[in-house]
Chains A and B, each alone.
Chain A
């Protein structure tokens, strides 16, 4: 009977989720009236000009001009035809090629609107393109992600989804606090503690395993921040190129330290939960294991994941610099200089994160085995 109830609850939950997903997809597909900006759906595309260009550094490129005709989807002029001009290059570094079916944000040309009002036979309204409407794709991706994470992760997948959303909201609030003038590093430190406790409880449940993971994560993260801080102080930040953050109106140093703190948190958390989870899983499949055998197994797992975990951060960070690096290289800068200028912040983030990962291994191993042995003795069970 109880099983049947659970089953019913599950079905209800999944139906609700499916409805939510379908509804949000339908919504973004038809949300034109919620935007104040005019949205135009492109119906035909014509290339009117094609021109070969060569820049100062002998890079060859092709410049296209296209004329798009489209229909207005919202506002007072709904249904009217619009003609738009767009220029784009083959490389497309800062411009876009548009295709039939694309939905664009457009600011309409006032004079052409007036002409249209007075004379219905006038030619199409003209305007300038402000950008592509991307929300449909974004929601589609989010729905896909939701479906997959629940299909594979089941209940835990759902929980990690919640923790992700919670983290996003919390993070947004933190930024507001900072803009109100509170010290960023202080706010971030508090948030790191909340993040850790909340995420790990949500993912791992309220139990001993989570408890050990929380303790080792916090130890690892703050130890890493301290190391990074000392290194930056001792070296007087030599080799840190803040140019990448030059658009900021806030001091980049403070923000960068906060970025390091937040950036390594996820990785440290990951190592800690992996090690404590594996050790508890080992205990479950074979309860008679000694603490020495557990330590050995844990150390083995730690060594295995160390290399690849550091790679996660390394690639996640370094790949972001590739587009700018290419611009530098193609603009005649020396290779070494280009790499140094574009990857210095990314490399520092990756290195501090990696230090956090390596530190987290012994920290979580000792904490987990220590807490577990203590618990075993106290309960008098050889679980």
Chain B
């Protein structure tokens, strides 16, 4: 039996048992995401512009990861919108830093491995490195966005009379706890991936100057820092968008509601709030 298959089966069973229907969906979304990456790589290999492919893939991936698993819910919409907004901001930043540091392609450490192959393949690796960084952080920012908006939603459900500002603050509080550990997740994931390389550098007694200027070290650090920046940036964005969506909607209860409220919210809403509702105000959804 193949290790990958066995692990995948174990993961599927665990997700099904612990997450029930949502767990099954989560596993399926992993498969769908893998398929999206697969198609994206094939397209890039056929010389389609890698940046366009990456952006389309990221939109699809966030749509699948958020809406397919969590269903259509204001908290999901908030997470989706903030993911897209953060991606747009990050994209320009990564483009600039990715081309300035010239961390594309392979480093001298990998030359032995790649020397067997033709490297003049006509695909611009500066664009590839930008795609790679964006792909590696998309999961992290989607995760932070949904963690914040999901927790904020729970806080709101248990405390429906909360004000917009309080909800925003509550979101930031939760996010601060998440922030440190999410950067840790990324850090450990990268360390896990590069442990072998670090050992190699230690074996060869690289000097500090050589290490910090080397392509392989820089590309690793820049990937981690870009992902972390994404995770940091998305915190206020999600908290803001989510508190706006959750509470603006409440004010619109008597007006034209373009979407249906979940039953739990309706039950718990204090009646005086509905009296204050302003039917003229247009919800952003």
**Interface residues in chain A, defined as those with a beta carbon under 8 Å from any beta carbon in chain B:** 34-37, 53, 55-57, 59-61, 63, 89-97, 105, 131-135, 137-138, 141-142, 144-145, 148-149, 152-154, 156-157, 159-160, 163-164, 167, 171, 175-176, 178-179, 199-200, 202-204, 227-228, 231-232, 234-235, 237-240, 245-250, 252, 255, 258-260, 262-267, 269-270, 273-274, 277-278, 281-282, 285-286, 289, 297, 300-320, 322-331, 335, 339, 344, 346-349, 351-355, 358-359, 361-362
**Interface residues in chain B, defined as those with a beta carbon under 8 Å from any beta carbon in chain A:** 1-8, 10-11, 14-15, 18-20, 22-23, 25-26, 29-30, 33-34, 37-38, 41-42, 44-45, 61, 65-66, 69-70, 97, 100-106, 109-114, 117-126, 128-129, 131-133, 135-140, 142-143, 146-147, 150-151, 154-155, 158-159, 162, 170, 172-193, 195-196, 198-200, 202-203, 209, 212-215, 218, 221-222, 225-229, 232-233, 235-236
Q: Decide: B154 and A300 in contact? CB cutoff 8 A.
A: yes
Q: Decide: A248 and B196 in contact? CB cutoff 8 A.
A: yes
7 chain-A/chain-B pairs, Cβ below 8 angstroms: A61-B121, A131-B213, A153-B179, A302-B19, A304-B69, A306-B26, A354-B11
Q: Decide: B154 and A240 in contact? CB cutoff 8 A.
A: no
Q: A204-B177, A306-B15 are in contact. Are A282 and B7 (CB under 8 A)?
A: no
Contacts of B192 in A (CB 8 A): 259-260, 262-264, 349
Contacts of B190 in A (CB 8 A): 316
Q: Decide: A311 and B1 in contact? CB cutoff 8 A.
A: no
Contacts of A305 in B (CB 8 A): 143, 146-147, 150
The main secondary structure of chain A at its interface with chain B is helix
Q: A164-B183, A308-B66, A348-B4 are in contact. Are A262 and B177 (CB under 8 A)?
A: no
Contacts of B159 in A (CB 8 A): 285-286
User: What is the minimal beta-carbon distance from B106 to any residue of chain A, in angstroms?
Assistant: 5
Q: Decide: A252 and B196 in contact? CB cutoff 8 A.
A: yes
User: What is the minimal beta-carbon distance from A95 to any residue of chain B, in angstroms?
Assistant: 8
Q: Decide: B23 and A263 in contact? CB cutoff 8 A.
A: no
Q: Decide: A144 and B229 in contact? CB cutoff 8 A.
A: yes
Contacts of A255 in B (CB 8 A): 195-196, 199
Q: Decide: B65 and A307 in contact? CB cutoff 8 A.
A: yes
Contacts of A154 in B (CB 8 A): 176
Contacts of B128 in A (CB 8 A): 322-323, 326
Q: A199–B184 Cα gap in the complex (Å)?
A: 9
Q: A252–B196 Cα gap in the complex (Å)?
A: 8
User: What is the minimal beta-carbon distance from B191 to any residue of chain A, in angstroms?
Assistant: 6
Q: A11–B124 Cα gap in the complex (Å)?
A: 47
Contacts of A175 in B (CB 8 A): 195, 198-199, 202
Q: Decide: B45 and A270 in contact? CB cutoff 8 A.
A: no
Contacts of B221 in A (CB 8 A): 138, 141
Contacts of B126 in A (CB 8 A): 92
Q: A55-B118, A317-B193 are in contact. Are A239 and B140 (CB under 8 A)?
A: no
Closest B residue to A339 using CB positions: B38
The main secondary structure of chain B at its interface with chain A is helix
Q: Decide: B132 and A203 in contact? CB cutoff 8 A.
A: no
Contacts of B218 in A (CB 8 A): 134, 137-138
Contacts of B226 in A (CB 8 A): 141
Q: A348–B196 Cα gap in the complex (Å)?
A: 16
Q: Decide: B229 and A90 in contact? CB cutoff 8 A.
A: no
Q: A262-B192, A316-B227, A323-B132 are in contact. Are A311 and B184 (CB under 8 A)?
A: no
Q: A156-B177, A351-B8 are in contact. Are A307 and B29 (CB under 8 A)?
A: yes
Among A250, A252, A327: residue with most chain B CB under 10 A: A327
Contacts of B185 in A (CB 8 A): 266-267, 269-270, 312-313
User: What is the minimal beta-carbon distance from A272 to any residue of chain B, in angstroms?
Assistant: 8
Q: Decide: A199 and B181 in contact? CB cutoff 8 A.
A: yes
Q: A153-B180, A235-B2, A311-B142 are in contact. Are A92 and B124 (CB under 8 A)?
A: yes
Contacts of A347 in B (CB 8 A): 4
Contacts of B199 in A (CB 8 A): 175, 178-179, 248, 250, 255
Contacts of B2 in A (CB 8 A): 235, 238-239
Contacts of A57 in B (CB 8 A): 118, 121
Contacts of B124 in A (CB 8 A): 90-92
Contacts of B44 in A (CB 8 A): 322, 326
Q: Decide: B121 and A330 in contact? CB cutoff 8 A.
A: yes
Q: A148–B34 Cα gap in the complex (Å)?
A: 32
Q: A307-B26, A311-B30, A313-B139 are in contact. Are A235 and B42 (CB under 8 A)?
A: no
Q: Decide: A297 and B65 in contact? CB cutoff 8 A.
A: no
Contacts of B225 in A (CB 8 A): 141-142, 144-145
Q: A329–B196 Cα gap in the complex (Å)?
A: 25
